[in-house]
Structure 1
Amino acid sequence: MMRSRTALAVLTLGLTLSACKPPAADDYIARTRITDRAAAPSEPIGSPDVEGAIWAPGRHANRVLYGIPGQQPLMALECLTDEARPMFAITRFALADQHAQGILALIGNGRVERLFVDAAPARDVFLWHGEVPAADPRLDVFIGAREVEATIPGAGSVVLHPSNLPRTLIEQCRGLQQTAPVPPADPA
């Protein structure tokens, strides 16, 4: 008798709890009301053709550009010296969705590196942009005599032909770190 009362109590409790929450079902989403639709990300782009692409000095001595002469650049490397420590900026000239974040994968010269990039405003569009300290060893991927493949998911891959310009810029930027004046110690 005691067993049947316990079983009856468990069965009643189970039925009561199951009435509170509906079971999982394929049409469960139809039972809820969606009022805010998220914007879909942009369609991925293909990898650009880099035949004839070269590294060239930018308008400023602290910037180099990569691309086909006479066309929009594909990438830019820049030494930023406005900070307490020099920073190195990488820009991929591919459209990015506002507020997008990603990872720039760099493979070449015996290295595999990843840098965080964000959608950065550039006039009336957003481009992929990331910054790291000039002393960051991940930048060594650009120092060497081999090609580097730079990939951002959705923005294609750019094969960067070897050149001395990126290495020279990185070394100059790192040299600024060493010659920057050291602030005096806090007397407190």
Structure 2
Amino acid sequence: MIALCALTACGTQSEPAPETQRIAIDDTGPREARAYPSPDTTSALWTVADSGQAIRFGNAGEDPWLTLACDLDGTPIQFIIIRHAEALPGQSALFPFVGNGMRSRFLTDTRLSEGEWRWETRLPVDDPQLDVFAGTRDLTATLPGRGMLEIGGSRIPGEFLDWCRAGGRTPEVENYSDDERPMQD
């Protein structure tokens, strides 16, 4: 038996050594996170989208940083928050808004829409977290790694939220005769 093993060992050829590859240590490990500075929003304003079913926050003539949209075709009606900032497929984050005496944290995911990857949150329009838009005070919106948006106080987001909650109908304005008009201070 020993002689058979010895003969078998003598007849085999050794296999070539596996090929090795050198890599630099810098090329391994996790990639550095990229954080972007907060945009300068001092000249930014709200504008109504061409569809009439969204408002956009940004500098005039430039791409918006934030869009609030209303999907009236959804059941229930959906309120959509879009942060236009670099996004990659499969990412998600908490997107907090602070203002009007509230703090709301929206779970946001990336979505490919209109040729761009963007951060998007969809909620039923009656979600109480959306009340962060209901007042006229300043808002801040911070997307981790994509900067903070400082949004000056405005009645426009609150009016848009009311319009969306009303199913896209404009609230009726009461008509007064000159004698019935309420006194204004």
TM-score (norm. length: structure 1) = 0.70
| 8 Å contact from structure 2 (residues 54, 70) kept in 1 | yes
| 8 Å contact from structure 1 (residues 85, 177) kept in 2 | no
Label 1:83 to 1:44 Cα distance change in 2 as closer, same or farther (>3 A): same
Label 1:177 to 1:45 Cα distance change in 2 as closer, same or farther (>3 A): same
Question: Quick one: distance in 2 between partners of 1:80 and 1:59?
Answer: 14
2:53 to 62, 68, 82: 62
Question: Quick one: distance in 2 between partners of 1:56 and 1:177?
Answer: 17
Higher relative contact order (CA 8 A, sep 6+): 1
| 8 Å contact from structure 2 (residues 134, 158) kept in 1 | yes
Q: Report matched runs for 1:37-186 at 5 Å.
A: 40=31, 43-176=34-167
Structure with larger Rg:
2
Code of the aligned partner of 2:80: A
Q: Which has the higher helix share?
A: 1
Code of the aligned partner of 1:55: W
- State the superposition RMSD in angstroms: 2.1
Q: Which moved more, 1:158-167 or 1:83-92?
A: 158-167
In structure 1, list runs of 5 or more residues that go unmatched: 1-36, 179-188
Aligned length: 142
Using the aligned pairs only, state the percent identity.
28
Cα offsets for 1:55-78 (capped at 9, x unmatched): 111111110000010111110000
Q: Which moved more, 1:39-48 or 1:86-95?
A: 39-48
Label 1:166 to 1:153 Cα distance change in 2 as closer, same or farther (>3 A): same
Question: Quick one: distance in 2 between partners of 1:150 and 1:56?
Answer: 18
| 8 Å contact from structure 2 (residues 72, 168) kept in 1 | no
1:122 deviates by 3.1
1:80 deviates by 0.6
In structure 2, list runs of 5 or more residues that go unmatched: 1-27, 170-185
1:135 deviates by 0.4
1:40 deviates by 3.9
TM-score (norm. length: structure 2) = 0.71
Partner secondary structure for residue 36 of structure 2: coil
Code of the aligned partner of 1:160: I
Q: Which moved more, 1:168-177 or 1:56-65?
A: 168-177
